[in-house]
Amino acid sequence: MKNYRMKKSKIKNIKAREILNSRGEPAIEAEIETNDGNFFASVPSGASKGKYEARELRDKDKRYQGKGVLKAINNIEKIIAPKLKGKNPCEQKKIDEIMRELDGTNNKSKLGANAILAVSIAVCRAGAGAQNIALSRHIAYLSKLKQTKQYPLPCLLMIEGGLHAGNNLDFQEFMLIPAYAKNSFSKNLEMQTEIYHELGKIIEKKFGRTAINVGMEGGFAPPIKSSEQALDLIARAVKKCGSNNKVKIIIDAAASEFYENKKYKINGKIFTNSELLNYYKKLVKKYPIAGIEDPFAENDLQGWQMAKKLPCQFIIGDDLTVTNLEKIKTAKQNNFINAVIIKPNQIGTVSETIDSSKFAADSNIKIFVKHRSGETNDDFIADLAIGIGAYGIMAGAPCRGERTAKYNRLLKLIQ
Ligand code: PGA
């Protein structure tokens, strides 16, 4: 980053509009005009959100069953825009701080994290535009992280359950991760995509045509109940493609979603946290599982204390850590995690996302940049993954435009 000098540029105007996300819910697109052109950003939305995430502002718009974003749009145009006009978009941190101060809450609930993040990402694009460099490179400069030569490993979603699918599978996601970092990004993507298509054929043969419909993130959602069934189906597809030993599995249990009264309910059975730990241990022994995301609920710290006993490579925090620097620090101090999910809309600004990623990278915590279930076609997280030197990217299945947009952007950046 030696030749990087901050260029002069000015924000002339900020507009916002309502668009639709991949679930057909309203989302925000922000547009920033500078002397270098117009820069856009839109923000996604989660379904299985962590309790401690920054808050989206949704109003009681009758058209959208109380999920409107008109108030958040108004906040951009009437409250944020006047304060940012004339500012240099290269000064990301300063601009994000202005928005945080204007909001004044610790979870961005006044102006809305959806309003603030849409502007923050558009500012980041305008900064890259002013410098006339790729967004990923601009993010790398802002993060001042030592760049690795390795691109993020694609972790493609194969099977969905939990809140994301109309089946009875309790765990939310079954993803693949390349077993070796040696292959190129495109080779890894190709291999996993072939497995995905093979899996579709196996599911169709076993359960019929209606079983190959997909969930919110493009993963198959067959009518199965147990994790073992999901893992067996994936194992068959991997074997058929001759990819044994080339891929491993990451499970996103999203355990907060089946945690109630200090117990976990899986497949109709009740588990204590230590019973759940034993169940995970059994799965890890039987299947090539590289990591488990949110194995325990965000408030079950006793469970998280046990997570280090899991005999797999990655214990990943998501609802536990919500891209929040303080929460990641606490998880690290307690030795709960060795890997973390980074989702910009959990925290609400680009600079805070970068600060959290920086701490993770400096603490040897592996970073997985991840999408949300209600996505837009914005591919910012692809540039982010490269800019912060993420270990992996989880952007869903190789299916549905809002998911493939991220992988396709990475293919472009890598060339
Ligand atoms: P969500 O899902 O976006 O619905 O909250 C979380 C995830 O995919 O990790």
Residue 94 sits in a domain whose CATH number is: 3.30.390.10
Per-residue pLDDT, 112: 98
pLDDT above 60 (res 289):
yes
- 3-state SS assignment for residue 248: strand
Q: Does a structural domain hold residue 146?
A: no
Band (148; pLDDT cuts 50, 70, 90): low
Band (63; pLDDT cuts 50, 70, 90): confident
Atom of ligand 1 nearest to the CA of 45: 3
Active site residues: 217, 343
Is residue 168 located within the same domain as residue 281?
Answer: yes
- 3-state SS assignment for residue 53: coil
Q: Does a structural domain hold residue 145?
A: no
Is residue 82 located within the same domain as residue 161?
Answer: no
The average pLDDT across 323-352 equals: 98
Q: Does a structural domain hold residue 208?
A: yes
Verify whether ligand 1 is closer than 6 Å to residue 49 (CB atom): yes
Give tens-digit pLDDT for 211-258: 999 999 999 999 999 999 999 999 999 999 999 999 999 999 999 999
Separation of alpha carbons 346 and 359, rounded Å: 16
Is residue 125 located within the same domain as residue 186?
Answer: no
Per-residue pLDDT, 50: 94
Q: Does a structural domain hold residue 198?
A: yes
pLDDT above 60 (res 3):
no
User: Cβ(43)–Cβ(118) under 8 Å?
Assistant: yes
The average pLDDT across 74-80 equals: 98
pLDDT above 90 (res 7):
no
Residue 210 maps to which CATH number?
3.20.20.120
Beta strand residue intervals within 253-345, DSSP E: 259-260, 263-266, 269-271, 289-293, 314-317, 339-342
Band (291; pLDDT cuts 50, 70, 90): very high
Is residue 367 located within the same domain as residue 222?
Answer: yes
* Gap from CA of 130 to ligand 1 centroid (Å): 33
* Gap from CA of 192 to ligand 1 centroid (Å): 21
Band (149; pLDDT cuts 50, 70, 90): low
Per-residue pLDDT, 339: 98
Q: Which of 96-110, 141-155, 173-187 has the lowest mean pLDDT?
A: 141-155
pLDDT above 70 (res 147):
no
Q: In the numeric block, which tokens belong to residue 23?
A: 């679930």
Which amino acid residue places its CA nearest to atom 4 of ligand 1?
47
pLDDT above 90 (res 64):
no
Considering the chain, what is the average pLDDT of its residues? 96
* Gap from CA of 179 to ligand 1 centroid (Å): 24
| Residue whose CB lies within 8 A of the most ligand 1 atoms, among 21, 48, 155, 394, for a mutation test | 48
* Gap from CA of 74 to ligand 1 centroid (Å): 27
Number of domains in the chain: 2
The average pLDDT across 300-326 equals: 97
The average pLDDT across 136-159 equals: 89
Q: Does a structural domain hold residue 63?
A: yes
Q: Does a structural domain hold residue 143?
A: no
Atom of ligand 1 nearest to the CA of 216: 4
Per-residue pLDDT, 2: 53
Which amino acid residue places its CA nearest to atom 9 of ligand 1?
372
By the 10 Å C-beta count (0-12 exposed, 13-18 middle, 19+ buried), 263 is classed as: middle
* Gap from CA of 77 to ligand 1 centroid (Å): 29
Separation of alpha carbons 196 and 202, rounded Å: 10
Verify whether ligand 1 is closer than 6 Å to residue 318 (CB atom): yes
How many other CB atoms are there within 10 angstroms of residue 174's CB atom?
25
Residues 6+ apart with CB under 8 A from 299: 51, 256, 259
Domain that holds residue 333: 153-414
Is residue 187 located within the same domain as residue 79?
Answer: no
Give tens-digit pLDDT for 304-316: 999 999 999 999 9
User: Cβ(396)–Cβ(371) under 8 Å?
Assistant: yes
Band (1; pLDDT cuts 50, 70, 90): low
Task: Determine what percent of the chain falls in helix, strand and coil, rounding each to the nearest 5.
Answer: 40, 20, 40
Residues shown for the chain: 415
Verify whether ligand 1 is closer than 6 Å to residue 370 (CB atom): yes
